[in-house]
Amino acid sequence: MTSPVPSVSIVIPAYNEERTIRSCVLAALGQTAAAHEIIVVDNRSTDATAAIVTQLQRDHPLAPIRLVTQDLIQGLIPTRDAGFNAATGDVLGRIDADTVVDPTWVHEVQLAFTDTAVAASTGPMSYYDMPLVKLGLRADDRVRRGMLKLCRQYSFVFGSNMALRASAWRQIRSEVCADVDDELHEDIDLSVHLQQHGLRVTYVSTMVAGMSARRIDDSPRDYLYYVTRFERTYQRHGVRNAGVRAPMVLFLAIYPALKMIRLSRAAFEV
């Protein structure tokens, strides 16, 4: 069953993102189908993040750019939730402050949500600060589609590139984990709650967003802690399906190769 073209709010949680927030917002503005609103949720930033967004509002007075502050709690989840709760669109797009969405991103989200059975959608990533960006995008898309097959009845959304129907958010928002100890993957937690309510998640290969591969710059210890958030999230919810561990295993396996590529690229640029 199809519905009229939905309006799309883009929510961007941000903490000290002065290096990336301008490009992120400008990409959200430069869409073939306009976003209903672009909401940057500033979470206690001590740099120029908020000032840059304010300047963008001045530079684009007719653009629907909103700056929301979330100062009560430090953390991604309360900041994301504040943005979702402030949004007024039919669909809540969610990207990171270093995400640069493709020009057709909003259009692709709208197409996905004209199917009234779809509660959430996600898509592949291109890594704009890695070599062979187009090849990397094709590989990322194939890997994500393969992982979804392994997960079988479980689906997941990727926090840097996802969208959620506002009505679905209202259904699960009182249940999502607060994660005060910062141990979980917030997007996987969101996915589990969608699954528990039988809400359908769809994967859209043409819903493309770019992101930085800066996570690879972490130390091996920090990277390991980040990746094993998958396991802690699934353990928190008692999910025993072996297939859902596939992303964690893959990200651990490819870390050495990606680290070498990042180091060689940095050396070449010097």
Name the 3-class secondary structure at 167. helix
**The domain spanning residue 67 has which CATH number?**
3.90.550.10
Domain membership flag for residue 41 = yes
pLDDT of residue 269: 55
CA angle, residues 134, 17, 122, in degrees to nearest 5:
45
Range of the domain at 115: 8-212
**Sequence-separated (6 or more) residues with CB below 8 Å from residue 53:** 21, 25, 40, 42, 65, 67
Domain membership flag for residue 240 = no
Domain membership flag for residue 144 = yes
Please name the helix (run of DSSP H) or strand (run of DSSP E) that holds residue 234, with its range, or none: helix 229-236
- Mean pLDDT of the chain, nearest integer: 92
Domain membership flag for residue 63 = yes
**Sequence-separated (6 or more) residues with CB below 8 Å from residue 89:** 6, 7, 8, 9, 35, 36, 37, 166
Find the mean pLDDT for residues 113-126: 96
Q: What is the pTM of this model?
A: 0.93
Task: Quote the number of domains for the chain.
Answer: 1
Find the mean pLDDT for residues 135-158: 83
